[in-house]
Amino acid sequence: MAPDVATSAAPGLDAALERLARGVAIGAELTVVGIRLLSHRIPVTIQVLVQRADGLDVSLDQCASISAPLGEALEASGLISFAYVLEVSSPGIGEDLASDRDFTSFRGFPVEVLRHSEGAEQVREGLLLGRDESMLLLNVRGRTVRIPRDEVLRVRLICPTDDS
């Protein structure tokens, strides 16, 4: 029953939870990048995703440092009237690569590139070699493939396939 209660309250609850979490996180020099209300779990799980204000990776100690104050603030707010578990964590890396740091960190990893070329969308898989101002470089079966950056719609990490 708890998931139904959480789901029905979710539209306004997400925004209220995020405002509350932002207020607590700012004191720890962290930024809230998202709130997930996982109502399919019993008890409901509230995930608060944080990162450092300077953009560097957040440590386990930093997540732990705001967990107790955030839990206390949640209890005092009266926003939650059902059983829940609070999780504070880093958002980690998403599947999509966007920043220069992502392209440097995941050099050599398998990726899928969605590109728009010659009026159609095309998908290409390979190992990421890197990118510069004008090109994305992939290793496709031992050959370097250059894809103009202005044609790239999306680059995402994938699980390696067995092409043997």
pLDDT tens figures, 36-76 = 888 888 888 898 988 887 777 788 888 888 999 999 999 99
Cite the residue boundaries of each domain of the chain with CATH code 3.30.300.20: 2-89
Cite the residue boundaries of each domain of the chain with CATH code 2.30.30.520: 100-157
- pLDDT per residue as tens digits for the range 70-79: 999 999 999 9
Q: What is the mean pLDDT of residues 96-124?
A: 87
- Enclosing H/E stretch for 47: strand 44-52
Token representation of residue 155:
């680059």
User: Which listed CATH number (3.40.50.720, 1.10.10.10, 2.30.30.520, 2.60.40.420) goes with 100-157?
Assistant: 2.30.30.520
CATH class of the domain whose range is 2-89: alpha beta
Which letter does DSSP use for residue 25 in this model?
H
Q: At what angle do helices 2-27 and 60-77 cross, to 10 degrees?
A: 120
- On whether the pTM is more than 0.85, the answer is no
Output the CA angle 23-15-50, nearest 5 degrees.
Answer: 50
